[in-house]
Structure 1
Amino acid sequence: MERAIVHMDLDTFFVSCERRNNSQLNGIPLIIGGGDRGVVASCSYEARKFGVRSAMPIRMALRLCPDAKVIRGDHEMYSNLSHLVTEIIQNKVPVMEKASIDEFYLDLSGMDKFFGCYQWTEEIAASILKETGLPISFALSANKTVSKIGTGEAKPGRMEIKLQEIKPFLDPLSVKKIPMVGDKTFQLLSRVGIRTIHTLSEMPLLVLQQMIGENGRELWKKANGIDENPVIPYSERKSISTERTFTSDTMDIVELKRLLAGMAEQLAYQLRKEKWLTSTVAVKIRYANFDTETKQCKVAYTSADHTLSRVALDLFNKAYTRRMRLRLIGLRFTGLVHGNHQMNLFEDTEEQMSLYQTMDYLKNRFGSDAVGRASGFDFGK
C-alpha cells in the first residue's frame, strides 16, 4: 500500500496568533521577540522581504526593516492555541505526530479509499482556520521527508507530491532543503561541488559515508526521496524530575544550592535534548523529621538552565524556612510542551544561544558531565 503522509505547519505561528487578537497588525512588518539584545523568535512575511529571519539579533532586524513593529510575545497564548490545533487534528485523523509547537505529521495511508487524502487534509486545514483563525500550510506525499520539504516550498499554501513526482520535485532544490542538513554539512558538501539534491542523490553511497560518517546513508536515502520513518502517535510527557536523598542529613546551604543548580542544569539539558519546554518549576525539600515542603511557580516556556536555575534557587529560599537539617531535595519541571528552542528566543541573547549550542554539542559528544556552569560543580572534592 502506498503511504500517504502529510506535513502541516502553522504559517508564521506567533505572528498569526498576535494578528488573530489584533487586526491592526495585519499587513505590516511584524517581529516577535525579545528586547534590544534579544533575537527574532518569529517574523511576518512582510518583514522577511527585507531579509529578517528567525534567530537574527533584533538590532540587525531593525536595521534591515526599520519600520517593523516589535512585540514581546505571549507564551501562554501560543501554547493554548497550539493545544487547540492539536485537538482539532487528533479528532480527525487516525495517526498524528506533533513535531513541534506549530508543526504536525499525519499518516492517512489507506484513507483514500474512503475519502481523497488531499481533500481530507484541505478540510482539516479549513477547520483549523475556522475554529482558531490560524492559517496552516501543508504538503502530502509518500513520506515525512518529502512532505516536510513540500510544505517549505508551498508556504504559505499547500501541495501534493505524488510518488512519480518525487524525484523531479527534489532534484533541482538545494541540499539545504533536506531537514537533516545543517550549515556545517552544507559547507562540507558545497566544497566538493554538491549543492543540489540531484547531485547528492547521484553520489556513490560509500563516498558519501566516508565524507559525512554514519549519517551518510540516511542523507543519501533522503536525497533519493526514501524515508521509512513512521509517524509516531502523539503523547505529551507530563513532567521531568530528579531528587537526591542524603546519606547524612545536612543544612549546608552552599552545598544544597550548588546541588540544586546542578540539577537544574542537567534537567534543562535533558529538555533540550528531547525537545521539551517547561512552564512550571517545583522544588521539594524534606526535613530530618520527614516534614516535606514543596514550592512551585509558573515561568515562560523555556529550556534555558540559567533561567530555570534562578527560579529553582528562589523557590528553595521560600521553601527552606526552618533551621533544621534536610534529608532530601528535589526538582521537577511540569507543564511541558513538545517543541524546540524557538520559544526560548523570547528571552535569549545572541551570546546565550551560542553558549547553549556549544555546551550541548560538548555534552552530546563527551557526555552530560563534560561541561557545566561553575555553580553546579563542587570544587572542594
Structure 2
Amino acid sequence: MKRAIVHMDLDAFFVSCERLGNNKLKGIPLIIGGGDRGVVASCSYEARRFGIRSAMPIRMALRLCPEAKIIKGDYELYSNLSHTVTEIIQERVPIMEKASIDEFYLDLSGMDKFFGCYQWTKEIASAITKETHLPISFALSTNKTVSKIGTGESKPVGKMEIKELEIQPFLNPLSVKKIPMVGDKTFQLLSRIGIRTIHTLSEVPMLVLQQMIGLHGKELWKKANGIDENPVIPYSERKSISTEKTFAKDTIDIHELKRILTGMAEKLAYQLRQEKWITSTVVVKIRYANFDTETKQVRVAYTSADHTLSRVALELFNKLYTRRMRIRLIGLRFTDLVHGNHQMNLFEDTEEQMKLYQTMDYLKNRFGADVVGRASGFDFGR
C-alpha cells in the first residue's frame, strides 16, 4: 500500500497565540522570549525579515531590529491551545504523532479510496483554523522527511502535495540545510567540499558519506534521495515522571535530605530534556517513620531546567517538613507534562544558562548521567 504521510505545523505558534487576544500585535516585528539576557523563543515573520531567529540572544535580535516588541510569553496558553489542536486532529485521523507542541505527523495511508488524502487534510487544517483561529501549514507526501520539508517550503499558511514522481524534482534544488537532520556543523562540512544542494548530495555515494560523517551518513543519503521508512508513531501523552528513595535507616539529617532532593531534581530534569518534555507542576512527598505520608505541590512556569526545579523542590520540602520526626522516604514528581522541543525555559533562562545546560547534557549523553552535576547534589563522602 502506498504511504500517505502529512506533516502539519502551526505557523509562528507562540506569536499566533499571543495575537489572538491583542490586535495591536498583528503586523509588527514581535519577539517571544526572556529579558535582555534571554533568548528568542519564537518570533513573527515580520521579525524574521530582519534576520531574527529562534534561540538567538535577545540582545542580538534587538540590534537587528530595535523596534521589535518583546513579550515574555505564556506557556500555559500555548499548552492549552496545543491540546485543543491535538484533539481536533485525533478525532479525524487513524494515526497521529505529536512531534512537538506545534508540529504533527498524520498517517493517512489507505484513506485515498474513501476521501482523498489531500482534500481530507485541507478539511482538517480548516477545522483547526476555524476552532482556534490559529494559522497552520501542511504538506502531504509518501514519507515524513519529504512532507516536513514541504511544509517548510509552503509556509506561512501553505498547502502542498508532493507525489511520488515529484519528490526528487522537488528536493533537488533545495539547500541541504532543508533536510531535518542537517545542522550547522554538517552543513559547513558539506559546503567545504561543494555539496550545497540536495541534488548534489543525492549523487554522493553512500559509503563516501559514511566515511565523512559516520553512522548518520547512510540516513542522510537516504533522505537526500527522498527515502524515509520511519513510521508515524501513535501519540500518547505522558502525565508525569517521578523518583523516590526509601532509607535503610530513618533519618533526620536535613542537609542530606536536601542533597538527595537536589540530585533527584537534576536527574529528572535531565530525563525531561532527553525525552523532550517540560513540566508545570512539582510535587514533593515525604513519609515519616510512623508511615504517615504527606505531599505538597506547586505550579510553575513550564520548564525543564533543574536550577528552577530543584529550587522549587527545596522550597516545597521546607514547607512540608514541619513535624521534626525521622523520615523514612522522600520522593519527587513532575506532572502536567507537555511534549515539545527542549526549551528549558526560553522565557526566563539567560543565554549563559542555555549554553551551560547544552554542555552538561552533552557530557551526560557521552559519559553517563552521573558524570557532571551541581555540587549540592553530590555526596562527597560525608
TM-score by length of 2: 0.98
Deviations, residues 58-85 of structure 1 (Å, cap 9, x unaligned): 1211111111111111111110000000
The whole-number CA distance in structure 1 between the counterparts of 2:254 and 2:194 is: 59
Q: Distance in 2 between matches of 1:229 and 1:70?
A: 38
* Match status 1:177 vs 2:184: no
Q: Is this contact kept in 2: 1:98–1:234, CA < 8 A?
A: yes
- Which letter does structure 1 place at the counterpart of 2:264? M
Distance 1:168 1:343 in 2: 39
Letter in 2 for 1:119: Q
Equivalent residue number for residue 254 of structure 1:
255
Q: Which letter maps to 1:378? A: D
Q: Give the C-alpha shift of residue 363 in structure 1.
A: 0.8
Residues 280-334 of structure 1, C-alpha deviation per residue, up to 9 Å, x if partnerless? Answer: 1000011111111101011111111111111111111111112111111100000
The CA distance in 2 between the partners of 1:234 and 1:251, in whole Å, is 43
1:5-36 per-residue CA deviation (whole Å, 9 max, x = no partner) reads 00000000011011111112111111111111
How far apart, CA to CA, are the structure 2 residues paired with 1:183 and 1:261?
Answer: 35
Instruction: Tell whether the 8 Å contact from 2:6 to 2:140 is kept in structure 1 after alignment.
Output: yes
- Deviation (angstroms), 1:341: 2.1
AA aligned to 1:258 is R
Give the corresponding residue for 1:111: 111
| C-alpha displacement of 1:342 | 3.5
Determine the C-alpha separation between the residues in 2 that align with 1:244 and 1:39. 36
User: Alignment partner of 1:346: what SS?
Assistant: coil
Q: Equivalent residue for 2:359?
A: 358
Output aligned runs, 1:276-295, within 5 Å. Answer: 276-295=277-296
Q: CA deviation at 1:187?
A: 2.0
- CA deviations on 1:100-119 (whole Å, 9 max, x unpaired) are 00000000111111112111
1:80 matched to 2:76: no
Q: Which whole-Å CA distance do the structure 1 matches of 2:65 and 2:205 have between them?
A: 44
8 Å CA contact 1:139, 1:161 repeated in 2? yes
- Kindly state the Cα deviation for residue 188 of structure 1 after the two structures are TM-superposed: 2.1
Alignment-mate amino acid for residue 367 of structure 2: F
Q: Does the aligned pair in 2 maintain the 1:288–1:326 contact within 8 Å?
A: yes
What does residue 32 of structure 2 align with?
32
Alignment-mate amino acid for residue 288 of structure 2: Y
1:314 maps to 2:315 = yes
Which amino acid is the alignment partner of residue 97 of structure 1?
A: E
Report percent identity of matched pairs. Answer: 85
In structure 1, how many angstroms separate the alpha carbons of the residues matched to 2:235 and 2:43?
28
| Count of aligned pairs between the two proteins | 381
Q: Which residue in the other structure is 1:146 paired with?
A: 146
> Per-residue deviation at 1:270?
0.5
Equivalent residue for 1:334? 335
Quote the Cα distance in structure 2 between the aligned partners of 1:84 and 1:343: 23
- The residue that corresponds to 1:132 in the other structure is 132
- How far, CA to CA, are the matches of 2:123 and 2:323 in structure 1? 60
> Could you list the per-position Cα deviations for residues 186-227 of structure 1 after superposition, in whole angstroms to 9, with x for gaps in the alignment?
222222222221122111111211221111111111111100
Is the CA contact 2:279–2:335 (under 8 Å) kept in the aligned structure 1? yes
3-state secondary structure, aligned to 1:88? helix
Could you tell me which residue of structure 1 aligns to residue 12 of structure 2? Answer: 12
Cα displacement (A) at 1:343 = 6.3
Tell me if structure 1 keeps the 8 A contact 2:303–2:343. no
Q: Is the 8 A contact 1:7 1:105 kept in 2?
A: yes
- Indicate the residue corresponding to 2:94 in structure 1: 94
Residue 2 of structure 2 aligns to a residue whose secondary structure is: coil
Tell me what 1:237 maps to. 238
Partner of 1:303: 304
More deviation, 104-113/171-180: 171-180
- Alignment check: 8 A CA contact 1:6 1:138 kept: yes
Letter of the 1:206 counterpart: L
The residue type equivalent to 1:314 in the other structure is E
C-alpha distance in structure 1 between counterparts of 2:340 and 2:85, whole Å: 14
Distance 1:235 1:119 in 2: 26
Asked if the contact 1:41/1:343 (under 8 Å) is kept, the reply is no
1:51-70, aligned counterparts within 5 Å? 51-70=51-70
Asked whether the equivalents of residues 8 and 138 of structure 1 are also in contact (C-alpha less than 8 Å), the reply is yes
Paired residues for 1:211-226 under 5 Å: 211-226=212-227
Match of 2:372, SS?
A: coil
Aligned partner of 1:204 in structure 2 is 205
| Alignment-mate amino acid for residue 208 of structure 1 | L
Indicate the larger mover: 55-64 or 104-113.
55-64
- Corresponding residue of 1:164: 165
* Letter matched to residue 273 of structure 1: Q
- Structure-2 residue corresponding to 1:266: 267
CA distance, structure 1, for counterparts of residue 197 and residue 357 of structure 2: 31
**Which amino acid is the alignment partner of residue 287 of structure 1?**
Y
* Partner Cα separation in structure 2 for residue 325 and residue 215 of structure 1: 53
Q: Which runs of 5+ in 1 are unaligned?
A: none
SS at match of 1:169: helix
Please say if 1:50 is aligned against 2:50. yes
Separation in 1, partners of 2:306, 2:44: 29
Deviations 1:114-173 (A, max 9, x none): 112111111111111110010100111100000001111111112111111111111111
Structure 2: segments with no counterpart, 5+ residues: none
